[in-house]
Amino acid sequence: MTASHLSLRDAAIALGIVFVWGTNFVVIKLGLQALPPLFFATLRFTLVLLPAVFFLPRPKISWAPLATYGVCIGLFQFGMLFIAMNGRISPGLASLVVQMQAFFTVGLSMLRTGEKLKPHQLGACVLALAGMGVIAAHNGHGTTIAGLALTLVAAMGWAFGNQASREAGKVNMLAFVVWAAMFSIPPLLGLSLLLEGPTAIAAGVERMSWMTWIAVLWQSAGNTMFGYACWAWLLSRYPAATVAPLSLLVPVFGFAASALILGEPLPAWKIGATALIMAGLGVNMLWRGRPASKDCLAGEPN
């Protein structure tokens, strides 16, 4: 990696990724209009796995990181996120709250390495937690305490998934994501059958329209396979500090898409909470002279 600035082509690819990731929250909401959340997540990872698994060789690593990644990203990140977005938190707020994964990723790294919290990291956490407090204080206005808690669990699952993918080493990230999906499907489908039931699943399948199928394909092909593979490719060509700050645009696209397509209101408290959390993320990700920041920056946004 020698280039420190994105080329015009690669900048366009990066913006395409954060656009897909940001608008993905509206797509999730549209899919949930027909499908139960856990079954929706099951379909998402089924289409990640099939048919790509027949064309991509399994990464030459042990099964452990694949299983860890599959369960953490499939069940905890997206399973919990889909449940939260099923009437418990608005798409725009979800796109913002889930970015707390950056702090959870740093925390996991500190537990692994014994690194102490730096002053700027503490300040970043205080800013972000203040933003979480603003959201919690407006319970019932686009979010609930349960929705906030579930989305934070999703962010934690994302952080553990980041850790698993980093510890897998240098592998084909698209193949890694595809093969890990086989560990996402069983717990998602099992819980869907247990908690949502065959009747609700069958009713959801009957309600599926072309828009629902587009939502599922957007989730699998667009968000997961295009987004994660291209993000990993950009990180292999440029320093993480050049690429990763673009993830700050994810909530921007999330709120814009939610407002334009779903009519989600943007009152002053949402703008204030967004400013606090984005400020915390910005301090955490952009602070100069902090070598350990790569642990946070290398994580893939949603």
Q: What is the DSSP code (8-state) at residue 75?
A: I
At 1, is the pLDDT very low, low, confident or very high (cuts 50, 70, 90)?
very low
pLDDT digits (tens, 9 = 90+) for 22-73: 899 999 999 999 999 999 999 999 999 999 999 999 999 999 999 999 999 9
Q: What's residue 103's pLDDT?
A: 77
Q: What range defines the domain where residue 161 resides? A: 8-297
Most confident option among 93-102, 210-219, 267-276: 210-219
Look at residue 2 and tell me if it is in a domain. no
Task: Please say if the pLDDT value at position 241 is more than 70.
Answer: no
Cα torsion angle, 163, 150, 273, 120, sign: negative
* Count of domains forming the chain: 1
* Residue 200, in any domain of the structure: yes
Per-chain mean pLDDT for the chain: 84
> Which residues neighbour 284 within 8 Å (Cβ) at sequence distance 6 or greater?
102, 103, 106, 120, 121, 124, 125, 128, 293, 296
Per-residue confidence band for 280, with pLDDT thresholds at 50, 70 and 90? confident
- Whether 6 and 243 have beta carbons less than 8 Å apart is answered as yes
Does residue 1 belong to any structural domain of this protein?
Answer: no
**Measured distance CA(128)–CA(99) in Å, rounded:** 10
Of 96, 93, 73, 81, nearest in space to 157 by CA: 73
Residue 143's DSSP bridge partners are: 89
- DSSP-based helix, strand, coil % in the chain, nearest 5: 80, 0, 20
Q: Is 232 within a domain?
A: yes
Is residue 3 in some structural domain?
A: no
Residues 226-239 pLDDT 10s: 887 787 778 667 76
Of the pLDDT bands very low, low, confident and very high (cuts 50, 70, 90), residue 182 is very high
Provide the pLDDT for residue 3.
Answer: 56
